[in-house]
Each structure stands twice: as C-alpha cells, then as structure tokens.
Amino acid sequence: MNALEAIGGQRPLRTEEFARRAHAYALNPQRNPVKEALDRCTSVEATPPMLGIFNDIPWNLLREDEVHAWAKAGFSWICNDAEHCQREGWYGKQQNAMEGRVGLLQLQRLHREAFSAHGDVFQLGARATMKPYGTTYEDAERFFRAVNFPTPGEATPDDRGGYPVRLGDRDFTFTPDSLLSAETQTQGWIQFETGEYIINKKIRDQVLDLMAEQGANKACGFVGPFDAILREGVIPEMEDATNDLFRRAAERGVHTGRVVGSGSMEDPKDIEDAMVVAIENGCRLICVHPFTSDLAFRGAMSMTEPFFRAAERCGF
C-alpha cells in the first residue's frame, strides 16, 4: 500500500470515496480510519505515511465545506487543538461528526494538566487524544490509564470511567461487555517535546515500551520540535535524537509523527526534503506546519498569483 492507496487511491478524493467513508461512519461511528489503515500493514516499515494538520479554528466557527476540503486534498488526521486554543479547540459531537463522516481521524489535543478528560473526549466523538509535554514515565502511565477502560473489577482511580457508547443505530452499550467490545478503536497519542522524552534515552525507551504494551496501533508518538527547541535551546543533538526516536519506536511497532516545516523553512522543496528524511527514519504521521486557519489565506494567495503576474507582464 502506498500513500495514495491509503486515502482511497485518488487525490483529489472522488465522490465515490466520500460515499464509502460516509457509509463506514454511519455503520460504526466509533471507527478510527487511521488505525484501520495502520492495522492493514504488517510493520511500521510497510506503513505508508499519512498527512495531518493542527486545527485552530474555533469549534463554533467550523464549516462543513472546510472539513470536506481537508479530506479532498488528502489529509488523513486533524488535531483539534484544545491545548493552546483552550476551550475553543475542544471539539464537540457535531464537529467531530463532520470530520468522521469524511473519513478524517478526529485527534483531540488537550492542555498539559488534563488526565481524566482524555477518556471523556471519546464520548464527544474523538477517536484519538493527544497528551503534550510529558517529562516522566509516570506521566505516560497515568495518561494511558485515563485513555483505557479498566478490566472489570480491577479499576484504579486513574482509569477511564464508564459511560454508555451510542452505536450506529443509536442503541446504547449498557453493559460492560458491550461497551468494551464497541470501543476498540480509540488511540492515545503522546507528544515527545521535552528533553526528558527525546534526549534522555532511558525515559524515552521506557515510554516507548509502555506504548507498545497498549496493543497494536493503540498508541502513537508525536514530536513537537518547536516546544523541544524552546525548552531545551537550539542544540545540535536534537535532530539526531528525534530521528533516533523514530527508529527506536519503529522497532517496537509504534508509529510516530512530527511537524515538518517552520517559518524558517517555507520553500516547498526544503519541506519535501525534510519529510523524506523523517519518513526514511521511520516517521509515518507527517504534519504540515501551517494551521487550518492559514489555508484560506494560502488559497487566496494562490488564486491571485496569475492576476498579478499578468499585470506585471502588461507593464502595470
């Protein structure tokens, strides 16, 4: 499977692919399209890269045609950012449904202090949740307890609380067995954006081992280079440590991602080259550096370019 096959074999997406995705979502609102794609691959090395973007559009301003455009262009996952956008980025049932119907993974990032809320976002339709800024093994351990339902009779105070899940026919799961059998596609994504998680190999490997223990494709890692550099300073070992993280994660069957690009790397060729380096080191969840709110401006600039070039050619 290649990157185009992972999104349906065509870009821009065709109507038939949108119909297939909407049908799959109607049958199972708990589906996770990215996890489904990862599950079809035998290893991280065999997994095609999938493209994502951070979403800073407030939940009450989201439009369905924007979400449709993201999917049509080839994005696979959208990180709705309630860390830095706070409650404006905490998406509700209707907003998550917009993304789910067009086959986008609804990844909800929360503020660094959140714990039990990571499990609760699944009740709002998110299929993955992201924890930023971990520094200890215990941070990761507590996060996964909040993300996962406990084994009945073996709960700890940090485990995810039970709440009925609504199925595609609007029936509820009112027993522990039906709940556990329905909610199998959720994921916990951990951000690696501190020296403790990227450079300290002992803590890094402990966290990666814990992620692998969650089960096949139930945990993903994501590097936030901007925070890492801001926290640790511009140090030469950061890039090598990041690529080593990708390789060590791939050895454990854990998929990882990163933002590629920045204000100092705007040339598309430079960004493409940097993406190649990340992919070759085992990174599979590639993220562009602009936010979703930037797409309207970038699209408008693209549409105006022919006019201003024509005016210049005519002496104006």
Take residue 110 and report the two structure tokens written for it: 């929360």
List the beta bridge partners of residue 106: 78
In this prediction, residue 154 carries a pLDDT of: 85
In this prediction, residue 82 carries a pLDDT of: 97
Question: In whole angstroms, how large is the CA radius of gyration of the chain?
Answer: 20
Please choose, from the candidates 159, 165, 82, the residue with its C-alpha nearest in 3D space to the C-alpha of residue 123.
165
SS3 assignment, position 187: strand
In this prediction, residue 228 carries a pLDDT of: 80
Residue 251 — φ and ψ, nearest 5°? -60, -30
168 residue type, one letter: G
Alpha helices in 133-200 (DSSP H): 137-147, 176-182, 195-198
In this prediction, residue 140 carries a pLDDT of: 97
In this prediction, residue 109 carries a pLDDT of: 98
In this prediction, residue 269 carries a pLDDT of: 93
The predicted model scores a pTM of 0.94
What is the C-alpha separation between 263 and 289, in angstroms, rounded?
Answer: 8
List the beta bridge partners of residue 223: 192, 258
In this prediction, residue 254 carries a pLDDT of: 98
Query: What is the residue range of 131's domain?
Result: 3-313
In this prediction, residue 163 carries a pLDDT of: 86
Q: How far is CA 309 from CA 137, 274, 298, 313, in A?
A: 55, 30, 17, 6
In this prediction, residue 174 carries a pLDDT of: 87
Residues in the chain where the model's pLDDT stays below 70: none
Please choose, from the candidates 122, 109, 126, 110, the residue with its C-alpha nearest in 3D space to the C-alpha of residue 149.
122
What is the C-alpha separation between 222 and 12, in angstroms, rounded?
Answer: 26
Enumerate residues 6+ apart whose C-beta is below 8 A from 217.
35, 38, 39, 187, 255
> What are the pLDDT digits (tens) for 271-293?
999 999 999 999 999 999 999 99
Return the CATH number at 245. 3.20.20.60
Number of domains composing the chain: 1
57 contacts 292 by C-beta, under 8 angstroms: yes
In this prediction, residue 29 carries a pLDDT of: 95
Enumerate residues 6+ apart whose C-beta is below 8 A from 280.
none
